[in-house]
Amino acid sequence: MLSKIKYSVFLPLIAITLAGCERTERALMEDPGPSASQPADTQPADPQPKASRPAARPPAHVAAQAAPQPAIRSIPAQAAARPAPVKTPFAVRRCINLGNTLEAPNEGEWGNRARAADFTIIASAGFDTVRIPVRWDQHMARRAPYAVNPAYMRRVKTVVAQAQSAGLGVILDVHHYDDLLKYTARETPKYLSLWKQISETFAANRGRLYFELLNEPTLDISNDALSQLYAKVLPIIRERHRTRPIIIGGNQWNYVGRLDEIRWPNDPNLIATFHDYGPHEFTHQGASWMNPPIPRGRTWGSKADTAELSETIGAAISFRRSYSRPVFSGEFGVINTVPGAQRAAWLRARRIAYDRANISWCVWDYAGAFSLYDKENRRWHGAELSAVMGR
Ligand code: GLC
């Protein structure tokens, strides 16, 4: 989620010309991307628990905010790593994140528990997939072989089954594993063991299920260490899931401009994810976990704002073209203290841009701090839902 921060820093520095925007528009039209012909693959009311989330944000966010960020640039292919064009089956089109649920240290601590009814509500609204962030590391033994607490594993399995029973595909990730980012060498065996256990647990799952290796790696971990981690964990998963689409992203909170900095494993079924919260001063205004705090009141819709969106889409398309990988906006959203009409305007512009560029997306989030669903009153925020659904 750092696309957010860096925009604030570097956008004013980028001269974004109208010609540049036109180029991006043309690119949107010309490059439907590999996902264009993708076949479908086989297959309550606490809107704001943020106050009780003191440690949710890694301190590196703060550092990153202060550091000047590189501008989004067009992404050259790493010749050696460039795979032959692939048709990766990735049937995600309209996805929503189950934020603040299994993402909390313990389910319920950030106000949300998953209920079967949530998935019916999500499917009925027109979503085809739900991304379920899971904070596994808090539920694992400290010593090798680092067993995941069986009750916790059963709980995740139940939630996945509930979502699939409602007809939804599921993206299962590893969220908030901060120790892995800070103490990578020490934590690697635990991380590898985690994916082995997840792989075993879901080995027989024939529904639409996607694995996402690591949410929002930050600059605490080097590109090299991150690439090594991906290279080590992939074969472990592939033992049991030979062709299941696996989602991986770049450094700096899955920033689109860093997708090309990792070494892409030679695996035809990888999906490239990026997170898109630009500009951060708009989407994260007043967020309790931001330090220093971002003042409220920023509106969205200036020329620079729409140009920033074009830049983001342009970078995603450029990566896709160079690397022949489907790209996926795995998180985008606006905090729910922003007035509905403004949130809807931002969400609509994003969704239109993604759809035109044939980029799959997953809005953040269902009933957390960026909620599209109002659990208290049991109804969707109408303008925001229409914005992402194109109604
Ligand atoms: C990231 C964080 C999550 C946060 C979201 C929006 O996914 O992991 O906790 O709510 O971004 O900031």
Quick check: 334 and 366 in contact, CB under 8 A? no
- Rounded to the nearest whole angstrom, what is the distance from the C-alpha of residue 131 to the centroid of ligand 1? 12
Neighbour count for residue 78 (Cβ, 10 Å): 14
Determine the Cα angle at 31 with ends 25 and 36, to 5°: 125
Whether the predicted pLDDT of 246 surpasses 60? yes
Span 312-333, mean pLDDT?
97
The pTM assigned to this predicted structure is: 0.83
Per-residue pLDDT of 165-179, as tens digits, reads: 999 999 999 999 999
The pLDDT of residue 391 is 87
Residue predicted with more confidence, 280 or 57: 280
**Among protein residues, the one whose CA lies closest to atom 9 of ligand 1:** 56
- Show the ligand 1 pocket: residues with CB < 6 angstroms: 1, 56, 99, 103, 175-176, 215-216, 331, 364, 369
Per-residue pLDDT of 296-321, as tens digits, reads: 999 999 999 999 999 999 999 999 99
Helix (H, G, I), strand (E, B) or coil at 247: strand
Atom of ligand 1 nearest to the CA of 97: 7
Quick check: 169 and 120 in contact, CB under 8 A? no
Buried b (16+ CB within 10 A) or exposed e, 376-388: eeeebbebbbebb
Span 191-202, mean pLDDT?
98
**pLDDT more than 70, % of the chain:** 77
Mean pLDDT of the chain: 83
Which tokens is 341 given? 């009409």
| Residue to probe by mutation, ligand 1, list 364, 366, 370, most atoms within 8 Å of CB | 364
Lowest mean per-residue pLDDT among 55-69, 241-255, 257-271: 55-69
- Rounded to the nearest whole angstrom, what is the distance from the C-alpha of residue 1 to the centroid of ligand 1? 7
The pLDDT of residue 70 is 40
- Rounded to the nearest whole angstrom, what is the distance from the C-alpha of residue 84 to the centroid of ligand 1? 34
Per-residue pLDDT of 51-98, as tens digits, reads: 223 223 332 333 333 333 344 444 444 433 444 444 557 899 999 999
Distance in angstroms (rounded) separating the CA atoms of residues 89 and 319 = 18
CA–CA distances in Å: residue 173 to residues 22, 85, 177: 36, 26, 10
- Rounded to the nearest whole angstrom, what is the distance from the C-alpha of residue 194 to the centroid of ligand 1? 21
Span 352-370, mean pLDDT?
97
- Which residues, including other chains, have CB under 8 Å from residue 173's CB and lie 6 or more apart? 131, 132, 133, 134, 211, 212, 213, 214, 215, 247
